[in-house]
Amino acid sequence: MKKLLPVLFLLFAACTVQKVKKSVRDSEVFNQGFTGFMLVDPAKDKVLYALNEDKYFTPASNTKMFTFYAAYKVLGDQVNALDYVESGDSLIFWGTGDPSLMHPDFEDRTVLDMLGNTDKRLYMADNFDEVQAYASGWSWNWFHYYYGPERSAMPVYGNIVRFTKTAEADNFSFSPHFLAPQIKEDHSLPAREYAIVRSQHINDFRYHVVGEELSFETDKPFVTSAQLTKEMLADTLGKDIMMVDYDKVKNRPHQKLKGIATDSLYKQMLKISDNFLAEQLMVLVADQLSDSLNVRGAIQYLEENYLSDLPDAPQWVDGSGLSSQNKFTPRSIIKLLQKIKEEVPEEKIFAYFPSGGASGTIRSWYKSDDEHPYVYAKTGTLSGVHCLSGYLLTKSGKTLHFSFMHNNYVISSSELKKEMEKVLYLIYDQY
């Protein structure tokens, strides 16, 4: 009887794999678009099932897993918050891409304390030309939406205005207040509950709130620049800041001020799929690698030195996955998941990644039969794109790696998620 148990288990596992194969290959839902899928048992180094695993897909925010891996390998425990030179009675500083300066979701005061406490005269070097506000392949009209803040060399306030309304009448506010002259009420705006709009090229905001008992919090990107950043920072510090030519100081010996812990950035970036943090992390990676903010050069370095073992060379354009020019194959994502699992402590992975039925972008999906999530994975969604890749913990105690990638579908993402949920639950329950 004891000899029969392994045989029976193998037969049961093989039967489960056949069910998975049929549920993916023959799905009427998945067949309404282009689907790639790969499921791997790393303990056995075995591919359990794969479909179109060698084909390139637009990954959307699955790209953030590559950004996370790059940052984890390069940045260490703290980001470089500023580059600076102290010379006589002067302190000259410039940006490294650190997203935390006065960000409404973080409380790090490293830069403010340093600049605020010094008795030296402050000079800001303008290196903003090193970072394009939008990456290649981004849509021009994202300027209006919370998910499209501009990238910059030295962000402040997350490069967004945060508008907040609580249920109390007339309790409407926004931050930063520095932009108050550019934020006006406009009752001519059509609004069912509220409307907030911004002009495309300038910081001209208009709002109309209809419901007095309405509650909301929403972010709108502002147009950033070196001049605006300098003015906001000077206003906060209560100090004068002069602008200097970056070319005159960039090659001088300088120091890097250590700032916020990278852990807090990784968790928010992956859990809620924060595009701004993802983009700025890649700027920080570039700063660390080359002492410049050349993201394209950083990506090339990463591909050659950390990702050369991927089965298919990636087409990697940005940090967030907003660009449809990004292209990865399911088997390359599986390889990345393997590298992350081998190099990052498991407790960190489970703390950073969204968890099914519990947190982040999949808190409403992929619920387990108890309080322990069985899916820890990164979503990725653009128009006609929905992906989910990560780790699946089965009832039998196995940890599997999977990548689900859907492109060119014309149905709702909810239909895809329901079908994916059936497949992943089958694996969780029976493998």
Q: What is the mean pLDDT of residues 377-405?
A: 97
Average pLDDT rounded to a whole number, residues 276-287? 98
Pair 253, 85: CB distance under 8 Å: yes
Boundary (domain end) residue, out of 260, 289, 305: 260
Q: What average pLDDT score do residues 235-257 get?
A: 96
Sequence-distant (6+) residues with CB within 8 A of 231 are: 178
Maximum Cα interatomic distance, the chain, rounded to a whole number of Å = 84
Residue 347 one-letter amino acid: E
250 and 325 fall within a common domain: no
14 has a pLDDT exceeding 90? no
Mean pLDDT of 324-348: 98
Residues 345 and 197 in one domain: no
In this model, does residue 396 exceed pLDDT 50? yes
In the predicted model, what is the mean pLDDT of residues 380-390? 97
In this structure, what token pair is assigned to residue 9? 């288990």
- Is 140 part of a structural domain of the chain? yes
Residues 361 and 412 in one domain: yes
What angle (nearest 5°) sits at the alpha carbon of residue 317, between those of residues 315 and 318? 140
Distance of CA 234 to the CA centre of its chain: 29
Same domain, 123 and 15: no
Q: How many degrees, rounded to 5, is the angle at CA 114 between CA 276 and CA 69? A: 35
Asked whether residue 133 carries a pLDDT value surpassing 70, the answer given is yes
Q: How confident is the model at residue 13, as a pLDDT?
A: 67
- The three-state secondary structure class of 303 is helix
Same-domain status, 182 and 288: no
Within a domain: 303:
yes
DSSP state of 358: T
Beta-strand relationship, 121-126 and 90-94: parallel
Question: What is the pTM assigned to this prediction?
Answer: 0.95
Report whether the peptide linkage leading into residue 176 is cis, meaning its omega lies within 30 degrees of zero.
yes
**Helix, strand or coil for residue 205?**
strand
How far apart are alpha carbons 99 and 281 in whole angstroms? Answer: 8
- Angstrom distance (rounded) from CA 343 to CA 233: 38
Q: What average pLDDT does this structure show over 310-331?
A: 98
- Cα–Cα distance, 271 to 351 (Å, whole number): 9
Domain that holds residue 241: 75-260
Q: How many CB atoms lie within 10 A of CB 3?
A: 6
d(CA 343, CA 346): 9
**Cα–Cα distance, 21 to 240 (Å, whole number):** 65
Whether 234 and 357 map to the same domain: the answer is: no
Evaluate whether residue 265 is within a structural domain.
no
Helices (H) and strands (E) counted in the chain, each on its own, are 10, 16
Can you give the pLDDT at residue 11?
A: 55
H-run or E-run covering 229: helix 226-237
CA 344, CA 30: separation in Å to the nearest integer? 33
Report the amino acid identity of residue 364.
S
Q: Which of 206, 225, 260 is at the close of a domain? A: 260
Hey, what are 96's tokens? 């490294």
The verdict on residue 64 lying in a domain is yes
- Indicate whether 284 and 417 sit together in one domain: yes
Angle at 162 between CA 158 and CA 168, to 5 degrees: 155
Query: Cα(383)–Cα(150) distance, rounded to whole angstroms?
Result: 20
| Domain final position from 218, 235, 260 | 260
d(CA 98, CA 223): 17
Q: For residue 401, what are the contacts with CB-CB under 8 A and spacing of at least 6?
A: 39, 40, 42, 334, 337, 338, 341, 390, 391, 392
Residue 267 lies in a domain: no
Number of domains within the chain? 2
Shared domain for 220 and 345, answered yes or no, is: no
Asked whether residue 266 is domain-assigned, the answer is no
pLDDT tier, 4 (very low <50, low <70, confident <90, very high otherwise): low
CATH of the domain at 379: 3.40.710.10
Tell whether 244 and 297 lie within a shared domain.
Answer: no
| Cβ count near 239 (within 10 Å) | 13
Q: Are residues 277 and 413 in the same domain?
A: yes
* Nearest one of 342, 294, 317, 362 to 66, comparing CA atoms: 317
Q: Decide which of 185 and 2 is more confident.
A: 185
Q: How confident is the model at residue 244 (pLDDT cuts 50, 70, 90)?
A: very high
Using DSSP bridges, classify how beta strands 46-51 and 34-41 pair: parallel, antiparallel or unpaired: antiparallel
Q: How far is CA 57 from CA 4, 47, 262, in A?
A: 43, 20, 29
Whether the pLDDT of residue 3 is over 90: the answer is no
Which secondary structure element, helix H or strand E, spans residue 334, and what is its range? helix 330-343
- What confidence tens digit (pLDDT) does each residue in 177-200 have? 999 999 999 999 999 999 999 999
Of 35, 40, 37, 21, which Cα lies nearest the Cα of 392? Answer: 40
Is 400 a domain residue? yes
Is 61 among the domain residues? Answer: yes
Give the containing element (helix H, strand E) for 405.
strand 399-407
Q: What integer pLDDT is reported at residue 8 of this predicted model?
A: 44
> Quick one: 319 and 372 in the same domain?
yes
176 — phi, psi (to 5°)?
Answer: -80, 145
Can you give the pLDDT at residue 1? 52
Are both 252 and 157 inside the same structural domain?
Answer: yes
Over residues 205-218, mean pLDDT? 92
CA-to-CA distance for 332 and 178, rounded, in angstroms? 45
